[in-house]
Structures are given as structure tokens and as C-alpha cells.
Amino acid sequence: MTDAIMSSVTAPPSAPLGRRGPLGSVLVHAGLIAASIAMLYPLLWMISASVRPEDEIFASTSLWPSSIDVASYLRGWFGLDVSFGRFFWNSLVVAVLTVIGNVVACSLAAYAFARLRFAGRNFWFAIMLGTLMIPYHVTLIPQYVLFLNLGWVNTFLPLVVPKFLASDAFFIFLMVQFFRGIPRELDEAAMMDGCGPWRIYWKIMLPLSLPVLATAAIFSFIWTWDDFFGPLIYLNDMNTYTIQLGLRTFVDSSSTSDWGGLFAMSTLSLVPVFFFFLFFQRLLIEGIATTGMKR
């Protein structure tokens, strides 16, 4: 696949000057279209495999199924002892709670860092930035022991409670950057009128920060939806499985027997992420461009 991209862009990259010649522009588009096809081909093939009759999945490399057959979706949905409806519901609960936790806890902390004056603010801010650098593997085992002793294993609490304690410090950083851009005159005017910090946070900061709150919410949702490691460690009972764990179990149980069902459920598991991509693409891309997120 990479070779396909390589060979399609054999022309040296023309320097980013405003204008390219007509030939250069045709070449560039040809290269970009070829690359786009190569990028999307696996995804499209998977979607198309999910609606093919079982015996046709590996018969062809084309993207058009000869006939549409949704049997794979039914087989996959009920393919395990617990239905995929349950897994989707679990994922949704964890993701929604995570979004709420992140938006509430991180915006509280970000407001303190961006606007309030208190002893030790800069010290704590530096510490907060420091926590961004530490791989979570360092705290993984003691956290597991802690949650095990609290009796939280096999519940969603280990996945959700940390978010209400602003454990995703990255979002604090994101919000601090945004809050600092809101004119201070607004806070000061409100203070003159006798507003306390809570009201300023609630009535001024949050309403003016909807773009950054939305960005944090969407990324929280997608990352949580896709998270595999956390659920893998804390959820052992199939009734508590998230969609990612459900898929993994399906791979292991059906090893190569029911590819159709597996692709059908894989396709469904990508739908929510795809939805956010379609409707909030601009926010996602701006979020990445301004903060340099990795995913």
C-alpha cells in the first residue's frame, strides 16, 4: 500500500508557491487522489465485506458486493453470549460519563489556573504540565491495587472516577490556553458588579468557551470509545464489556470462522467516531492544529 503511494508521487514536491503550472497541478491531484484511494481502500473493503454473503468475502478484491446481505449483522450482533447491544450501551455510558467528568473537572481547574490568584498557582501549574509527560504505566499498578481494594473491579468506576478528578490533564492545558484569550475586562466588569468567581466561571467563562469545551468533549468521547487498555484491565465480566472488548472476544471466539459477523460489528463500532468526524471535522482539525495532539 505504501508502495502505491510512493509510486504515485514520483514527482518531486513542487515548492509551495502560490501557483503551479497546469501540468503540475494535474500531477498533484493525480497523486492526491491515488493516495486517498489507497488510504480509504481498507476501510471501504471492510464495510463492503460486512454486507456481502459469507461465501463471497474473500473471493474478490473489488469494493462492490454482488448482493447486499445483512445476515452478517444479525449473526455478529448475537454472536456472543451477551449481545452487542449491551457492549454498545456500556461503551456509551462510559464515554458519556467521561465527557461530563472531563468537561466539568478540567474546566474548573483551568479556570483557577487561567484567572484566579492564589498562593502556589504557578507551582501547581508547573506540576500539572509535568503530569502530561509521565506515561500512565507508572501509576497503573498501584491504581489497580487501589481500585481492587475498593471493590471497583468489574464496574465502570475505575474508568470514570479519575476523569471527575481531572486526570486527563491535557484538557486542562487546552482550556487554560483558551481561557487566557478571553478578555479580562469581562471578568473585571463582572467583579465590579459584585460577582464572585463562581458566577464569573458559570456565567462568563463557560458560555464564551463553548468551542474549547466542545473540542474537549469530542476528543474525550472518541478516545474513550476507542480505549482498549483500561477496559481490558478493569472489566472481566462479559456483561460489563465495552465494544472494544466485545470485538476482541469475538476475534478470539470465532477465530476465522465468522469474518462477516466480525467485520459487521467492527464497522458498527466505528460509526460513532465517524459521526463525530463528519459533523465536527473543523473542530477536531483545529484542535489538533493548535495543540499538536497526537491522534
Partner 1 sequence: MAAVQDTAVVVGAGAKGRPAAQGRWASTWAKHGAGYMFLLPWLIGFFGLTLGPAIASLYLSFTSFDLIRAPEWVGTANYVRIATADPKFAAAMRVTFLYVVLSVPFKLSFALLVAILLDRGVRGLTFYRAIFYLPSLLGGSVAIAVLWRQLFAGDGLINSLLAQFGIEGPSWISHPNYAIWTLVVLSVWQFGSPMIIFLAGLRQIPTDMYEAASLDGASKFRQFYKITLPLLTPVIFFNAVVQTIDAFKAFTPAFIISGGTGGPINSTLFYTLYLYQEAFGNFRMGYASALAWILVLIIALFTAFSFLTSRYWVHYDD
Interacting residues with partner 1 between 184 and 243 (CB under 8 A): 188, 190-199, 201, 203-204, 222-223, 225-229, 232-233
Task: Provide the 8-state DSSP code for 55.
Answer: G
Binding residue for partner 1, selected from 165, 180, 237, 253, defined by CB under 8 A:
165
User: Residue 188 or residue 237: which is nearer to partner 1 going by CB?
Assistant: 188
If one asks whether residue 180 binds partner 1 (CB under 8 A), the answer comes out as no
Smallest distance from partner 1 to CB 239, Å: 19
* Grid coordinates of 149: 481494594
If one asks whether residue 166 binds partner 1 (CB under 8 A), the answer comes out as yes
Do the beta carbons of residue 190 and residue 199 sit within 8 Å? yes
Do the beta carbons of residue 223 and residue 273 sit within 8 Å? no
Q: How many CA atoms lie within 13 A of 255 on its CB side?
A: 1
Smallest distance from partner 1 to CB 74, Å: 18
Binding residue for partner 1, selected from 143, 182, 214, 283, defined by CB under 8 A:
143
If one asks whether residue 126 binds partner 1 (CB under 8 A), the answer comes out as no
* Contact code string over 35-74 relative to partner 1, x by CB under 8 A: xx--xx-xx-xx-----------x--x-------------
- The amino acid at 58: F
Whole-angstrom distance, CA of residue 73 vs CA of residue 224:
24
User: Residue 96 or residue 288: which is nearer to partner 1 going by CB?
Assistant: 288
Question: Cα angle at 85 between 272 and 81, to 5 degrees?
Answer: 135
Q: Give the interface size with partner 1 as a residue count (CB under 8 A).
A: 115
User: Residue 70 or residue 145: which is nearer to partner 1 going by CB?
Assistant: 145
Q: How many CA atoms lie within 13 A of 248 on its CB side?
A: 14
Segment near partner 1 (CB under 8 A); pick from 72-80, 92-100, 209-217, 247-255: 247-255
Q: To which H or E segment does residue 256 belong?
A: none
Residue carrying the nine cell digits 503551479: 20
